[in-house]
Structure 1
Amino acid sequence: MNKYRISTPMTVLFLGSGGQKIGQAGEFDYAGYQAIRAFSARKIKTVLVNPNMTAVQTSEGIADATYFLPVTPEFVTGVIEKEKPDSLVICLGGKTAYYCALELERTGILEKYNIQILGTPIETMKTTLCRETFIGTMQESRIPVPESVTVTTPEGALAVTAKTGYPVMVRTDATLNDNAPAVCRNDSELLSFFSDRTEMSDRVTIEEWLGGWKEIELEVLRDAMDNCIVVCSMENLDPVGIHTGDSPIVIPAQTLTDSELQELRRAAFAAVRALNVIGEANLRFAKDPDSAAFRIIEANTSFSRSTALASRASGYQLGHIAAYVALGFSLSEIEHLPAGCGHVCCEPVFDYLMVKVPRWDPWKFAPEDRQLGSVMKSVGQAMAVGKTFCEALQKALRMTGNDIPGLAGHPFTFKDIKEALRNPDHLRLFAVYSALADGWSVDRIYKYTKIDRLYLTTLKEILDIETNLRSLDGPVPADLMRKAKQAGYSDRQIGLCSSLREEQVRALRKELLVRPVVKQLDSRAGMGKNTSNVVYMTYNGATDDTAPLEKGILLPGSGPYHIGSSVEYDWCTVSAAKSLKKSGKIAILVNCNPESLSSDPETADRVYVEEISQERILDIMEAEKPEGIMLSYGGSLTSALALPLSRKGIAVFGTAAENVERVNDRNKFVTL
């Protein structure tokens, strides 16, 4: 085992990720914020370089010194000369921070100023980003990898595919660039890949195609004493071949047997040990659905969207934990803060499901850019928590903010269902549901989508409820109302299926005593007292886990990031919550974005992982009985709720609801 030796840090330099872009948003802000606070708690001076003024971590008072400068070697060297840091943290700024640190190492800046890298060594990051080296390292540890051949010329590539056949997965050496892999199905696509990508790299790896295999991710923690735990397993709904950022994800994985999960767990531990990870890592595996075979696809040793999602799902504050691990603490010495009991050396045990669904802005892209593949195209993500897959999935679909009611009652039509299933785009799930509605069997849908039959069968349960609702001649009976709500149906959905208005459905279910209960996010499955302030609502329960706060202010966030709405609203919401707490008021946050700090347990007195909709806001108001609500910090999503909530007697603080409506309604605004 490689030894991890560091000198006690006095001043630590953090490299941020810079501006937001598709595939890189608030996850680095969230992780960096937690880590900076952890170092500050140990009386270590923190210096941050990040030009993103909308990031919460760049707010006054977070780091001891913040430089709004580009994360480039030239500017970072200037900061090093002035601040004289003795340590550097690079795993919290994505590839922007990594490439900067790589250049600082190459030019001798780190050696000149005697700067140590905390946490996972830079050599490990080099290994994970160089495909040939990574494959070799995994093979040395006897971890199954995709069969691969490295070539340097198009002729060499054609010679390989002449033997292997198509399709193949093709990757360039990612050490010096950020190229995504591509699936090539014929000679023309392969030659096109060479002409487009090889200007930046002269080495191309051709790998066996694992399309149709399940894609499983394991989030792993390892400390310097070689203790390892799996924070959570994550199962992509879509098979290998569709970017994990564009696929719905279920936590924990639902379709693996215990022996299959344990086999992946052993491989993950072997991988992080071979790579000498100190902190967290995300391991991606391909699992053959028809046998015990699996392959490790990738290892990511810096924070990512998956890390943020795993952190939210498990309640393990991975930015905070990784900071303490980098300082030499063992997992058994780090407290599990949100739960209020125990240490993080214990693996989480879930009594709930979390489902992540991508957010799309398809109307801002050309139609040909909407096909799903190995390149990420979604612009954000929403997370939902429930006791069942149906409940969490339908909630997550509504949380994306595209005015989608859920699966049942969706507005989309498909001219050719088979084509929609065979060549998926952002409407893939709705195409699957429509196929079920058209009488397609689960096996036939599986043939074209390779979505596990368990999930397809579960979607059929949602369809059966919709069929029963549409066949009613009278009011919705209590048993069907409860069954629909337990399957994630909203009041609006039930109204769409039963020819009722949303308000009528709400009044009817309250009359039938069908109401949601508040449950804590308990990743210890009842082992010890849970004091977590992160909660969600479900109809699959009988009692509340928490007592009403009966005071305070409700603060809804802005939901998933999308084009035109990013970290700036997160900064506003977090700042408002801090101001409320500073003035002695209780802050209750509502958000569904796993990357945002406004869904972090430290931000508010209570955090709801929930929909930002009129129905759910009313449910929370009834459950918590706060003094009122502030809707100014979540963008258009929350401001649209001002007038409807005000008309229902909810105290809306700030700008009067009528004036908010005048600003949002263009016709009313023009008449001012």
Structure 2
Amino acid sequence: TDYDTSDRLYFEPLTYEDVMSVIEAEQQSGTVLGVIVSLGGQTPLKLADRLPAELILGTRAESIDLAEDRDRWNALCSQLEIPQPAGGTASEITEALEICGRIGYPALVRPSYVLGGRAMEIVYSDDDLASAMVALSSLGSLGREGGLSSERPVLVDRFLEDATEVDVDAIRDASGEVIIGGIMEHVEEAGVHSGDSACVIPPVTLGAGTLAVIEDYTRRIAEALGVIGLINVQFAVKRSTVAGDSVPTPDAAQVFVIEANPRASRTVPFVAKATGVPLVKVAARVMAGATLSELRIDGTLPDAVQGDHIAVKEAVLPFRRFPKADAVLGPEMRSTGEVMGIDLSFGLAFAKSQLAAGDRMPTSGTVFMSLADRDKPTGLRAAKHFAELGFEIAATTGTAEFFKKEGCSVSLVVAKVGSEEGEEAEDGLDAVELLEAGRIDLVVNSPRGRGPRADGGYIRAAAGLHNVPLLTTASAALAAANGIAETLAHEPVVRSLQEYHAGVRRP
């Protein structure tokens, strides 16, 4: 949408009728060689099967449908022997209940063919599932678009709660060559929409063996789909820990593919800035018929930057403008923008990304922590790091007991909001009252399940009301602790993107 880039701009709705009107208008001036549908998100992708097939540049409509149609996609992954989370498709509640009876809870329920994770929900019981199915039916928000049907079913998949999510952007040309643009490790847990999760390139906790599996799966999927141009593939990495150690081992992992989108992802500009490779320009040339080999020769496709920098993409969230909205992150996208932090260590890059997103991390004071059971081992590492930096630790009863048992000092034990009378606490104030009194400088509240996820709503709302930084995953808390430590130890350095692209090395 830049007049200095485009010869002509049309500001029209992305509907079949309007797109055909634009094509007909252009045909008055000469021959239209083709239309690119894979650089505008999900909406133009859905038009691919209605536009003239001979005009579609890049990945064909048949390949797009192969990735979107859940039954065909499942069959393809089985043929390629690439693992997926167990699941199925349902167009009514009885089918969904049957699937969950087979795969177990928690499950991720989502409509097919929608953008931004809209109407996705993680369900933990039959009652949750029934409520989600009603919301997705003609009675809910998607009813205006036709509700549920065999052509537009609900996707029900086992939700991998303890997994790390990974995004991959790649380009394949007509000759079959594939280049991996970037592999991004998400900071937040799997189940947080990729548009809301911070992610880092290159990955900082995944081992070479795991990365090799991810690259192999990406290449095989791109080949099987017949992609010409960009493809984004999302994976969940389920890692195991060594006995007695809460830190997952880098390569003791199983890699599951979540989905593939034969189009440009919102992460492409971030990857291009981090690596110095103009992915969109390369993809456009590939879709117009060039090969990657030809683009290397003419200089359009340079090698990725060889430097020591680490880049972090962070989401900009609107919760301060909507104080009544619960700030917990989930599978439905809620961010309104993205920023990027870049430096020579993950901690400094993460700290810069938080600052750019409007969340200045404290360098002293009290950290309040209320964690779900599964987050306590990672939260313990974060709490110990905060304590080493001189922070006081306040925690709810269950979290405090776990920390103390593992040798981490807790300065203040706080009863949860709405706790039963007599629940042990060392202060008469609950977490909300402590926030109101200005005694908390950072909140870490990780929800799990329908109960705990609802439990912390008051705490998260109070943090937003009083402008106290809020983190809703233990992994983000650990990243924040690392960032604060790096900021205290090293003065942040401002460098231009061009300097990083020239290659910056650690001293």
TM (norm. structure 1) is: 0.54
Q: Which residues in structure 2 correspond to 1:199-348 (within 5 Å)?
A: 199=138, 200-202=147-149, 203-290=153-240, 291-335=252-296, 344=301, 346=303
The 5 A counterparts of 1:530-549 are 530=502
Decide which structure has greater strand share.
Answer: 2
Per the alignment, residue 619 of structure 1 pairs with: none
Change in 2 beyond 3 A, CA 1:351/1:72: same
Q: Give, in angstroms, the shift of residue 204 of structure 1.
A: 2.2
Does the CA contact (< 8 Å) of 2:197 and 2:315 recur in 1? yes
State yes or no: 1:91 paired with 2:38: yes
Please state how far the C-alpha of 1:162 moved relative to its aligned partner.
2.8
Change (3 A) 1:435 1:164: farther
> What is the alpha-carbon distance in structure 1 between the residues aligned to residue 334 and residue 374 of structure 2?
18
Amino acid at match of 1:363: R
Question: How many angstroms apart in 2 are the aligned matches of 1:196 and 1:226?
Answer: 42
Q: CA RMSD in A?
A: 3.7
- Shift of residue 206 of structure 1? 1.8
Residues 136-535 of structure 1: pairs in structure 2 closer than 5 A: 136-174=75-113, 179-199=118-138, 200-202=147-149, 203-290=153-240, 291-335=252-296, 344=301, 346=303, 349-400=306-357, 402=358, 404-409=359-364, 414=368, 417-418=370-371, 437-438=391-392, 459-461=480-482, 483-485=489-491, 488=492, 520=498, 522=500, 530=502
Q: Secondary structure at the match of 2:332?
A: coil
Conservation of the 8 A alpha-carbon contact between 1:252 and 1:350:
no
Kindly state the Cα deviation for residue 359 of structure 1 after the two structures are TM-superposed: 1.1
Does the CA contact (< 8 Å) of 2:116 and 2:332 recur in 1? Answer: no
Letter in 2 for 1:70: P
Q: Alpha-carbon deviation of 1:186? A: 1.1
C-alpha distance in 2 between matches for 1:541 and 1:146: 40
CA offsets 1:289-348 (integer angstroms, 9 cap, x no match): 1143111011122222111211111111111101111122111221499xxxx6637565
Find the counterpart in structure 2 of residue 71 from structure 1: 14
Structure-2 separation of matches of 1:456 and 1:278: 40
Offset at 1:230? 1.1
Distance 2:275 2:116 in 1: 32
Q: Which moved more, 1:379-388 or 1:366-375?
A: 366-375
Confirm or deny: 8 A CA contact 2:375 2:474 kept in the other structure.
no
Q: Distance in 1 between matches of 2:477 and 2:172?
A: 36
Contact 2:110–2:117 (CA under 8 A) maintained in structure 1: no
Deviation at 1:248, TM superposition (A): 1.3
Identity of aligned residues (%): 26
Q: 1:248 to 1:133 in 2, by over 3 A?
A: same
Contact 1:235/1:249 (8 A) holds in 2: yes
Equivalent residue number for residue 141 of structure 2: none
**Within 2, Cα distance between the matches of 1:271 and 1:321?**
20
Q: 1:232 to 1:336 in 2, by over 3 A?
A: farther
Displacement, 1:157? Answer: 1.7
The whole-number CA distance in structure 1 between the counterparts of 2:41 and 2:496 is 36
**Residue equivalent to 2:429:** none
Where structure 2 has 5 or more consecutive residues not aligned to the other structure, the ranges are 139-146, 241-251, 394-402, 409-443, 449-471
Kindly provide the CA deviation profile for residues 449-481 of structure 1, in whole angstroms up to 9, marking residues without a partner as x: 8756xx876654555578xxxxxxxxxxxxxx7
CA distance in 2 between counterparts of 1:464 and 1:117 reads 51
User: Structure 1's 408 and 245: CA in aligned 2 closer, same or farther, altered over 3 A?
Assistant: farther
What is the distance in 2 between the residues matched to 1:176 and 1:261? Answer: 28
Q: 2:47 aligns with which of 100, 112, 118?
A: 100
Amino acid in the other structure paired with 2:17: E
Q: Which of 62, 65, 71 lines up with 2:5 in the alignment?
A: 62
Aligned residues: 406
The alpha-carbon deviation at position 187 of structure 1 amounts to 1.3
Secondary structure of the corresponding residue to residue 225 of structure 1? coil
TM-score when normalising by structure 2? 0.70
The one-letter amino acid of 1:93's match is G
In the alignment, is the contact (CA less than 8 A) between 2:210 and 2:255 conserved in 1? Answer: no
Q: Is residue 212–residue 450 contact of structure 1 (8 Å, CA) maintained in 2? A: no
Which of 25, 31, 35 is the aligned partner of 1:82?
25
**In 2, distance between residues paired with 1:418 and 1:128?**
37
1:11-44 CA deviation, whole Å, 9 max, x = no partner? xxxxxxxxxxxxxxxxxxxxxxxxxxxxxxxxxx
Secondary structure in structure 2 of the residue aligned to 1:79: helix
CA distance in 1, matches of 2:361, 2:83: 39
CA contact (8 A) 2:118 2:333 kept: no
Stretch of structure 1 that moved more, 180-189 or 235-244: 180-189
Q: Which secondary structure state, in structure 1, belongs to the residue aligned with residue 6 of structure 2?
A: coil
- Deviation of the 1:270 alpha carbon: 0.4
- Supply the distance in 1 between the matched residues of 2:117 and 2:348 (Cα, whole angstroms): 37
Q: Which residue is 2:249 aligned to?
A: none
Stretches of structure 1 lacking an aligned partner (at least 5 in a row): 1-55, 424-428, 467-480, 489-514, 524-529, 543-672
Aligned mates of 2:234, 2:170 — CA distance in 1: 11
